[in-house]
Amino acid sequence: MTFEVSLLVGAAVLLVAVAAVRFSTRLGVPSLLVYLALGMVLGESGFGIEFSDAALTRTLGTCALVLIIAEGGLTARWSTIRPVLPAAVSLATLGVFVSTAVVGVVVHYLLGFSLRDGLLIGAVLSSTDAAAVFSTLRWLRLRPKIMATLEAESGMNDAPAVLLVTLLATPGLGHAFSDSALTDAEKIVYELAVGALIGVAVGFAGRWTLLRAALPAAGLYPLAAVGLTVLAYAAGTVLHASGFMAVYLAGLVLGNARLPHRQAILGFADGLAWLAQIGLFVLLGLLVSPSRLPSALVPALVIGVTLLLLARPVSVVLSLLPVRRVLRFGWREKVFLSWAGLRGAVPIVLATIPQSMGVPGAQRLFDAVFVLVVVFTLAQASTLPPLARRLGVTAAAEPTELRVETAPLERMRADLMQLEIPVGSQLSGVHVDELRLPVGAVITLVLRDGTGFVPHEQTRLRTGDSLLIVATDEVREATVQRLREVGKAGRLARWITGKAGTVEN
């Protein structure tokens, strides 16, 4: 295809994918399945686009996961994660190893795979998917402890899973780093620990810098924040540490700082994460060959049942044992944690690692993982709401911190405007009540000499004041017009509204 045609197809796919979010939400189907289906429709069995580059998919998939995990860290609240951090860390490390071992042994004995191949399959499927968890569970009203545990686990468990898959897929297991005396177990500990240190260091350094840097445009702050999380990932990989651990913790530190234009940063990260999810799942749908999927159905069902009914519950129970003195989970909560361990793009991307490394049987592994993700994501996601109600793990119907911070103006159909009074403006010296803003507009905050305060009717505006003004959609233009008129003519300026013939003094 020519560049113009490719751009046309890409734009059409993006718009269809965006519209599919509303469609999938109404049907209760995870949007990731819609994106996978869209990729398959575009592929060799649909519109005929041939794509079989596993190495490129691995590279682009890793880039997409970095953005998705960064958004998870940026939007996570430390006050919510801190109480459940021991449980989340245990699930993301010990839980990954236990799940890998259980699936590996069962697959070895039931399906006749070698033990190493069985462990490789277990490692590929050991990580819950951040994109699936964030996009599915945030629609449910769950107890904060459960929600925070699942989100933190999915943000952190990609790192050990990637390490395990890479080790198991590397020829000459145990000698991947011939110039190092580290054993494989020590290497995993090193990568996780150093990755965590790098992420925290980049996060705090970025926080210090952004709080003191006066960037010339508000749009640069979101770019800088996301760039810092990518920097954390790159620094981690260059130092042979876990980049995924680094990017999540860097995002967590930055997201919990009172950065300038924080809401713009979170909105930008959310948009990038959606774009990454769409591109990633469509790409994975393109990579798969539908003609091979029927032969992968039986192995996928066996592995999936093992994972869902045995490996995940065992890993949850064993992982929560070491932290039971500091954080208690009832049996109902453990059941929900076991069932809500959603798999999504991460296992499919991990399955491209053996493909790109030329591991024998890697194509069969990829097909089985693809079928497993589709079947069990649909089964688990559709049953989560009734299961949560049946187990009694839902929370009261109150707005969460995320919704309060990101959505109030949108829900009220209002805009937040910022105005700085320049030198020579007639707004200087005008009292707030003399502005006579239209009904539906109000000055909510005045920043003067570095100090913010809520103004009253007799507050006199000064040159250099920064005003935050909330106005509904209906009166936004009238508010701007009134402020401009007062800025030119002072308190005696007449306010001409949008209604013909209506004049107020």
Q: Which domain holds residue 497?
A: 411-504
**pLDDT digit string, tens, across residues 127-183:** 887 666 766 666 677 887 888 888 888 878 877 888 888 888 876 554 443 444 356
Lowest mean pLDDT among 35-44, 158-167, 398-407, 462-471: 398-407
pLDDT of residue 306 exceeding 70: yes
Within-domain flag for 203:
yes
Same structural domain, 136 and 258: yes
Beta bridge partners of 468: 418, 445
- Higher pLDDT residue, 217 or 444? 444
Q: Which of 374, 404, 434 is the last residue of a domain?
A: 404
Maximum CA extent, the chain: 88
**pLDDT digit string, tens, across residues 330-388:** 899 999 999 888 887 788 888 888 887 878 888 888 888 888 888 888 888 778 888 88
Within-domain flag for 213:
yes
Same structural domain, 483 and 383: no
Same structural domain, 119 and 207: yes
Average pLDDT in the 86-104 region? 91
Within-domain flag for 38:
no
Within-domain flag for 10:
no
Within-domain flag for 11:
no
Same structural domain, 235 and 315: yes
Same structural domain, 361 and 419: no
Within-domain flag for 356:
yes
Same structural domain, 180 and 215: yes
pLDDT of residue 415 exceeding 50: yes
Average pLDDT in the 95-123 region? 89
Q: Which of 404, 430, 454 is the last residue of a domain?
A: 404
pLDDT > 90 in the chain, percent: 16
Within-domain flag for 23:
no
- Higher pLDDT residue, 83 or 6? 83
pLDDT of residue 410 exceeding 60: no
Average pLDDT in the 390-404 region? 56
Same structural domain, 140 and 259: yes
Same structural domain, 338 and 457: no
What does the pLDDT read at residue 315? 93
Q: Which of 404, 429, 444 is the last residue of a domain?
A: 404
Structural domain count of the chain: 2
**pLDDT digit string, tens, across residues 46-81:** 777 777 787 888 888 889 889 988 988 888 888 888
**pLDDT digit string, tens, across residues 248-293:** 999 999 998 888 888 888 889 988 988 888 888 888 888 888 888 8
Same structural domain, 419 and 334: no
Same structural domain, 463 and 349: no
Average pLDDT in the 180-206 region? 81
- Rounded to the nearest integer, the mean pLDDT of the chain is 81
Question: DSSP characters for 428-470?
Answer: TT-BHHHH-PPTTEEEEEEEETTEEE---TTPBP-TT-EEEEE
What does the pLDDT read at residue 436? 87
Q: What are the Cα distances from residue 3, in Å, to 6, 59, 227, 278, 466?
A: 5, 22, 28, 20, 46
d(CA 272, CA 230): 13
Q: Roughly how many angstroms between the first and final C-alpha of the chain, as a whole number?
A: 63
What does the pLDDT read at residue 30? 67
pLDDT of residue 504 exceeding 50: no
d(CA 460, CA 446): 11
Same structural domain, 389 and 420: no
pLDDT of residue 109 exceeding 80: yes
Q: In degrees rounded to 5, what are phi and psi of residue 441?
A: -130, 140
Within-domain flag for 25:
no
What does the pLDDT read at residue 26? 63
Same structural domain, 379 and 276: yes
CATH number at residue 348: 1.20.1530.20
User: How confident is residue 496, by pLDDT bands cut at 50, 70 and 90?
Assistant: very low
Residue with the two structure tokens 């060959």: 289
- Higher pLDDT residue, 8 or 496? 8
